[in-house]
Amino acid sequence: MIPAAFDYVRASSAEEAIALLGQHGDEAKLLAGGHSLVPLMKLRLAQPSVLVDIGRVNDLSYVRDAGDHIAIGALTRHMDVENSPVLAEHVPLLAHAASHVGDPQVRHRGTIGGSLAHADPASDLPATTLALGATYVAQGPNGTREIAAADFYQGYLTSTLEADELLTEIRVPKMNGAGWSFQKFNRRAQDWAIVGVAAWRRGTESGVGLVNMGSVPVLAGAVSAAIASGADVADAAALAADDADPQADLNASVEYRQHLARVLTGRALSAASA
């Protein structure tokens, strides 16, 4: 399968990429690792007329300790998130979730910013960063703005990013010793999650993100509210599907997804509470 024809331009900096996006308008798409976009283009589900390749903008690949949070460059590859000692110490849930993305070949190429900007509710990292209360930084022609993960996802494969904006950094609060767990339920290795759960807990504080439980990644607010008010794990996990509007597909019915969300949330919170 070969993508439809397109023009290809290479940006050497974030500013140049934004200028190129401005020049080419809605028809342009950013290309980072290409592991979400190229498959869509091969299936002709996406047919951008211009690709702006930012894969060589090396200064957007980093993991830095920024005091109360960890700053991750948008072009940091999954493999580098997975193996980052800084993340292992301060945000182990994210490093672990990154190790579940695709397979080693995919993780050598795909980037965290690309995965988040693609806004696929079945991907592991949108729900994980949502659970962790991350903030995304977008750069556009008029400067940068911060977008809470909770405000970023608008619909299936749709985010609040403007056509001339580039995701540059992901800021993830340090977990400060919170317990955590990532539960991914699928039928075959390397598949997307049929349902996944990313959860952390520190006393009565918690965050629970649901993978593939609707058109956007879902924050299970009812679960965290129950934990905050002293509910035990079983009672809190029973509320896991309350904030979600899952779809049926080849892999699972709506009811099965809701069941999985409750069971996996229970397992995740039990592990995070241990």
Partner 1 sequence: MEITVTINGTAHTADVEPRTLLVQFIRENVGLTGTNIGCDTSSCGACSIHLDGEAAKSCTILAVQADGAAVTTIEGMAAADGTLHPMQAAFMENHGLQCGYCTPGMVMAATSLLAENPSPTEEEVRIGLEGNLCRCTGYHNIVKAVMACAES
Residues in the site for partner 1, rule: CB under 8 A? 1-8, 31, 34-35, 38-39, 41-43, 51, 53, 55, 79, 102-106, 108-109, 189-190
> Burial, 227: exposed, middle or buried (Cβ in 10 Å; 0-12, 13-18, 19+)?
buried
Q: Cα(38)–Cα(40) distance, rounded to whole angstroms?
A: 5
For residue 94, the surrounding DSSP H or E stretch is helix 92-98
| 3-class secondary-structure state, position 265 | helix
Token pair, residue 88, equals: 């292992």
Choose between 79 and 161: whose C-beta lies nearer to partner 1: 79
| 3-class secondary-structure state, position 207 | strand
Choose between 9 and 86: whose C-beta lies nearer to partner 1: 9
Min dist. Cβ of residue 125 to partner 1 (A): 17
Min dist. Cβ of residue 69 to partner 1 (A): 28
Residues 6+ apart with CB under 8 A from 231: none
Min dist. Cβ of residue 103 to partner 1 (A): 3
DSSP type of residue 210: E
Q: How far apart are the first and last CA of the chain?
A: 48
Q: Contact 228/204 with Cβ under 8 angstroms? A: yes
Choose between 184 and 201: whose C-beta lies nearer to partner 1: 184
Q: Cα(252)–Cα(247) distance, rounded to whole angstroms?
A: 8
Min dist. Cβ of residue 223 to partner 1 (A): 29
Q: Contact 45/3 with Cβ under 8 angstroms? A: no
Min dist. Cβ of residue 143 to partner 1 (A): 29
Q: Contact 140/34 with Cβ under 8 angstroms? A: no
Min dist. Cβ of residue 193 to partner 1 (A): 14
Choose between 6 and 62: whose C-beta lies nearer to partner 1: 6
Choose between 42 and 145: whose C-beta lies nearer to partner 1: 42
Q: Residue 99: beta bridge partners?
A: none
Choose between 80 and 243: whose C-beta lies nearer to partner 1: 80
Min dist. Cβ of residue 181 to partner 1 (A): 18
Q: Cα(197)–Cα(124) distance, rounded to whole angstroms?
A: 9
Choose between 2 and 177: whose C-beta lies nearer to partner 1: 2
